[in-house]
Amino acid sequence: MKKQTRPTPSIQRIRRLAAGGKRAAGWRLQGQNRRIRRPDPGRVHFGAEDSSLTSVAGLVPFGRHLRKIGLDDELTRAFGHLKQGLFVVYPMAAQLRTLIDANAVGEPRIFGIEGLAADPLFARLAGGSVASIDTHYRDLVRFGALEIFCLEAIMAKHGLARSRIRGHEVVHLDIDTTVEPLFGSQQGARPGHNPRYHGRPSYHPILSAVAETRTCVGACLRPGDTGFGDEDAEIVGTHVRRVKRELGDDQILRVRIDAGGDCTVSDR
C-alpha cells in the first residue's frame, strides 16, 4: 500500500502565516506574466476611522509626498535595469519603495516585512502582494558599488532640498559614527567596538545629518572593526562640500563632529 503524505510547508509560508499575512503571490503572478503595480496614493481616500483595518494610514500622505517630489520615477530610472525581463513580478523600484514604507512606519529590518504584510493597506500600497523576505534579500544583493553610490546620492539630494535649508542663517552639519549590531553573517560585518553586545559582529557607518532639517545628507557603510581616522577625511570632506554647494552666500555652515574627528581634518 502506498503511503500518502502531505508536502511539508515551506519555511517562507510558515513565517508569513504566523505573522497573520497572506503568502506572497510571486509564483502565481509569474505564471500569469504579471508584475505588481503600486497604486497612485492620490487615489486612496480615507474613510471612517477603524484601527482594526490598518495601523499604517500615514503611508498614504507619505506616498503622495514622495510621488510629488518625483522619488518613484527617480528610483525607476536609477535601478530599473537591475530587474528586467518578462518574468519580473516585483520591479526593483517597487521593492525599494516597500522598504522605504517599512522604515517610515518604524520597521528598519527586512524580517519585519513579514508582519507588515498582514496589514491590508501596507499590502495594497506595495502593489497588492508583498514579496517574501527571501526575495527582498536576493534583490538587495543585486546592488553593486555603482548602485549603492547612486542610492546614497539620491538620499543626499532630497535631504538637501534648498527650500528646506535656505531659511536658516546658520546650518549645522552633524557628522558621527554609530554601531549597528547584527545577529547573522551579513557581508562586511565584523566584531568591533560594541558597548551593548560585546563580540557581536556589527557595522560602524558614518552618518552626516543637517540638524535644522533632521535629514541625512551622507552615509558610508563600514565594517564594525573600523575606527574613525584620517582615511575617512575624503568621505567627511565630500559630505561637507555637498552642504556648502546648496547654501547661499549669506549662510554659515558649522560642522559638528566628535573627538574622533580630530584625525579626519582635511583642507581638501
List the domain boundaries for the chain: 11-44+56-141, 145-264
The three cell numbers of residue 205 are 557607518
**Residue with cell string 532640498:** 161
- Alpha-carbon gap, residue 212 to 204, rounded angstroms: 24
Q: Model confidence over 187-227: pLDDT tens digits?
A: 667 777 767 767 777 888 899 999 999 999 999 988 877 77
CB-based contacts of 15: which residues, under 8 Å, 6+ apart?
114, 132, 133
- Residue 127 CB partners (closer than 8 Å, separation 6+): 36, 37, 38, 39, 90, 94
Here the cell at position 17 is 502565516
CA 194 to chain centroid, in Å, comes to: 23
Query: Quick check: 261 and 228 in contact, CB under 8 A?
Result: yes
pTM: 0.79
User: How does pLDDT run across 138-196, given as a tens digit for each residue?
Assistant: 999 999 999 999 999 999 999 998 778 888 899 999 999 887 777 666 666 777 776 77
